[in-house]
Amino acid sequence: MIPGRHEAGETVGDVGEFALIDQMLDGLVDDGRVTVRPGDDAAAFVTEGDTVVTTDVLNEGVHFRTDWSDAEDIGARAVAQNLADLEAMGADVLGVVAAVSVPTTTDAAWVRALSAGMRTECARAGATLLGGDLSSSPHISIAVTALGDLRGRAPVRRGGARPGDVVAVKGRLGWSAAGLFVLTRGFKSPRAVVSAYRVPEVPYGEGRRAAEAGATSMIDVSDGLLADLGHIAEQSGVGIRISSEALDVPDPLQAVAATTGSSPLRFVLTGGEDHALVGTFDQVDVPSDWAIIGRVAEGGGVLVDDEEWDPEEGTGYVHFQR
């Protein structure tokens, strides 16, 4: 947690907007790319190529619960899911801005811890917290905008997969979904999957490696492997065929699945929010340590072992769908 200049127990309303912003931004390290730091009307930074931008919002009760995750984890997660989008485009991460809205009765220490989590995740990725906004609201809402630099490379998009390519993944699949399953049933173990739900392990730097290796398409797994590969298949006009034998199903996922009587592949194939990277490549171009899990074919849709996945097992997350 960032050391505060106020006693614990003071609320956001007690401390005040501008004093709390100063605390949240105190001690930020300049990495040389930022030419106008937080404190002015806007930040400015230097890029070497096209700038890539993405944004996501997290709302209390929809994307996180404060009884499941502490403030630092929530802040880290808000940053991670945005930086994963930059990785999926093959960009170098540059920085983030965050707009945070909280009730005036919120403990100021909670907001400082939220900022600390954001800064910790930025440090993991090599990004910079560029600033943002703080406002009052009946509920906690966190909107993060992330900026990246392609440094002269072309963006890797969803629409470039070609029949004959292989499908490869880097990162964990199903861990966050298993953690959510555990938490919704009132448990906190296996601890590994609960931790994965609270803060994803984004494979930072792998998006650039994939782009430089010649990835023809790429996406981060935010809604589930089947759902996100479906986006690639649709936008590329191809079919994608996954081999279940090629998918890693670690022991913690098997243990959680055993409590449901269902296949652990359900977590791997439909679980989102791990923010692994999945892309398509000419087979000779696949980066080392990426796991080949399938192929690109003529036709359409996503099949598992050449069969349609049972929709009763889920296909991925979609907002507004009941």
| pLDDT value, residue 28 | 59
| pLDDT value, residue 40 | 66
Is 56 annotated among the ligand-binding residues?
yes
| Residues with Cβ within 8 Å of residue 186, at least 6 apart in sequence | none
| pLDDT value, residue 14 | 82
Is 85 annotated among the ligand-binding residues?
yes
CATH number of 12-149: 3.30.1330.10
- pTM, 2 dp: 0.88
- Which of 98-107, 221-230, 307-316 comes out lowest in average pLDDT? 307-316
Domain range annotation of the chain = 12-149, 166-313
List, for residues 205-217, the tens digit of each pLDDT value.
Answer: 999 999 999 999 9
| pLDDT value, residue 25 | 65
> Counting beta carbons within 10 angstroms of the beta carbon of residue 153, is it exposed (0 to 12), middle (13 to 18) or buried (19 or more)?
middle
CB 181 within 8 A of CB 260: yes
* CA 7 – CA 63 distance, rounded (Å): 30
What is the sign, positive or negative, of the torsion defined by CA atoms of 172, 224, 80, 258? negative
| pLDDT value, residue 105 | 94
List, for residues 241-262, the tens digit of each pLDDT value.
Answer: 999 999 999 999 999 999 888 8
DSSP category for residue 38: B
Architecture of domain 166-313: Alpha-Beta Complex (3.90)
Instruction: Give percent above pLDDT 70 in the chain.
Output: 86
The full length of the chain comes to 322
Over range 91-117, report the average pLDDT: 95
* CA 293 – CA 4 distance, rounded (Å): 48
Is 307 annotated among the ligand-binding residues?
no
Average pLDDT value over all residues in the chain:
89
Of 315 and 154, more confident: 154
Is 220 annotated among the ligand-binding residues?
yes
Of 77 and 321, more confident: 77
Is 63 annotated among the ligand-binding residues?
yes
| pLDDT value, residue 309 | 82
Is 30 annotated among the ligand-binding residues?
no
CA nearest to 114, candidates 31, 175, 13, 25: 25
Over range 182-199, report the average pLDDT: 95
| pLDDT value, residue 4 | 32
List, for residues 24-79, the tens digit of each pLDDT value.
Answer: 666 655 666 777 666 666 878 788 989 999 999 999 999 999 999 999 999 999 99
| pLDDT value, residue 31 | 65
Is 158 annotated among the ligand-binding residues?
yes
pLDDT-derived band at 95 (thresholds 50, 70, 90) equals very high
Q: Is the pLDDT of residue 322 over 50?
A: no
Residue 200, preceding bond cis, omega within 30 degrees? no
| pLDDT value, residue 118 | 96
- Which of 22-26, 265-269, 300-304 comes out lowest in average pLDDT? 22-26
